[in-house]
Chains A and B, each alone.
Chain A
Amino acid sequence: MTETTLATPKAPPGTIPGLRGIAADWASDQRAFKNVSWGKAMMWIFLLSDTFIFSCFLLSYMTARMSTTVPWPNPSEVFALNIGGKHIPLILIAIMTFILISSSGTMAMAVNFGYRRDRVKTAALMLATAAFGATFVGMQAFEWTKLIMEGVRPWGNPWGAAQFGSCFFMITGFHGTHVTIGVIFLIAIARKVWRGDFDVERRGFFTSRKGYYEIVEIMGLYWHFVDLVWVFIFAFFYLW
């Protein structure tokens, strides 16, 4: 029944340009997001709420860093690695950034092939995305291990302001959790794509609703968001 009401076979009303169009959509009494399915709108609203969560983490980090009188450990040095006898600053984080961007690229193409109903390419690209994501989490685990071995704790570290550890573990830990959940979500959807669930409109085992290729785009929104958050963490935590 719900499905019926949502899938009204009527073309969406025309778009009025600018603010007038926004006012018309929002004042239209039924649904504000005219040509956006409930799934996509809800994912966007979830991502908006998640934006606030990460904003709060970054803000508390900013407040801690700006108000401490003890010098903050230099991230450029803390995250440096010795590769082949050379001391390269921040190199691990740079590699992690490139890996996450690459995963976003493969995800964007997976969405594209999904709408072209090319299920093999879609599933392959989604699995590539998941592999990049898993690599990222693996490198983060390495980074955590290295820092913990060097004596970084949520309550202190050998180099300076005690809040460094708590901010680091909180922010990167929360981000890593998002990546991990994304990898699991990706594998689950890739399996469905591979099996052809969205070509035969097979009903989901949990919701009993028909699946569409749009779920790949919705999954993609989540994944790109994870990449987006990393852009801000990279700039504010590692480069500041």
Chain B
Amino acid sequence: MTEAAVHVEGQAAQHALHTYVHDAVASGAAHAEGQQHPIKLYLVVWGWLFVLSTCSYLVDYFGIHGHLRWSLILLFMVLKAGLIVAVFMHMAWERLALAYAILLPPVLVLVFVGIMVFESDYTHLLRVIFFASAN
């Protein structure tokens, strides 16, 4: 239907409509065309990702151990993942219906993690009780 109407109109009108259609479909009325953000934003995020990666490498380099190692590694990991998803993948500017549909299901993996922690603790206990002497 739309295609037919477009073909009747002139070349210029076709282009204009296509741009408009593409806007409406692809990226919403909020943006001129697609995701338009200043390049500086990407450079800043890039810089932060470098800093955070360096930090997590230094945790290993200086041999920090125990709970501090764990909390630092997880903190840097979550910050890096958040920056990539929010800015590089543009999730921060997407409609909530999409953001929640994509971001909520992976959170449920944490339940799976919990189950497997109990399971492996149990397996480990059995191995210690019944097989440790064999080693």
Residues of A at under 8 Å CB distance from B? 3-4, 6-12, 15, 18, 21-22, 25-26, 32-37, 40-41, 44-45, 47-48, 51-52, 55, 59, 62-64, 66-70, 76, 89-90, 94, 97-98, 101-102, 104-105, 107-109, 111-112, 114-116, 201, 212-214, 217, 220-221, 224-225, 227-228, 231-232, 234-235, 238-240
* B22 engages A214 (CB within 8 Å): yes
Residue of B36, B45, B109 near A112 (CB, 8 A) is: B36
List chain A residues, Cβ under 8 A from B63.
76
List chain B residues, Cβ under 8 A from A221.
89
**B96 at the A interface (CB under 8 A):** yes
* A228 engages B81 (CB within 8 Å): yes
* A115 engages B57 (CB within 8 Å): no
Q: How far is the CB of B95 from chain A (nearest CB, A)?
A: 6
Residue of B17, B26, B56, B88 near A214 (CB, 8 A) is: B26
Q: What is the chain B residue whose CB lies nearest that of A17? A: B96
Number of A-B contacts (CB under 8 A): 202
* A234 engages B123 (CB within 8 Å): no
Known pairs A35-B27, A59-B112, A90-B57; A25 contacts B34 (CB<8 A): no
* A62 engages B113 (CB within 8 Å): yes
13 A-B pairs whose Cβ atoms sit less than 8 Å apart in the complex: A9-B17, A18-B96, A51-B109, A67-B121, A101-B46, A105-B43, A108-B45, A112-B36, A112-B42, A214-B34, A224-B88, A232-B81, A235-B76
List chain B residues, Cβ under 8 A from A98.
50, 53
> Cα distance A58–B123 when bound, in Å?
18
Residues of B at under 8 Å CB distance from A? 1-3, 17-18, 20-22, 24-29, 33-37, 39, 42-43, 45-46, 49-50, 53, 56-57, 59-61, 63, 69, 73-74, 76-77, 80-81, 84-85, 87-90, 94-98, 100-102, 105-106, 109, 112-113, 116-117, 119-121, 123-124, 127-128, 131-132, 135
List chain A residues, Cβ under 8 A from B50.
98, 101
Q: How far is the CB of A104 from chain B (nearest CB, A)?
A: 6
Main SS of chain B's interface residues? helix
Q: How far is the CB of B99 from chain A (nearest CB, A)?
A: 9
> Cα distance A41–B35 when bound, in Å?
15
List chain B residues, Cβ under 8 A from A41.
98
Q: How far is the CB of A136 from chain B (nearest CB, A)?
A: 14
* A9 engages B24 (CB within 8 Å): yes
* A32 engages B97 (CB within 8 Å): yes
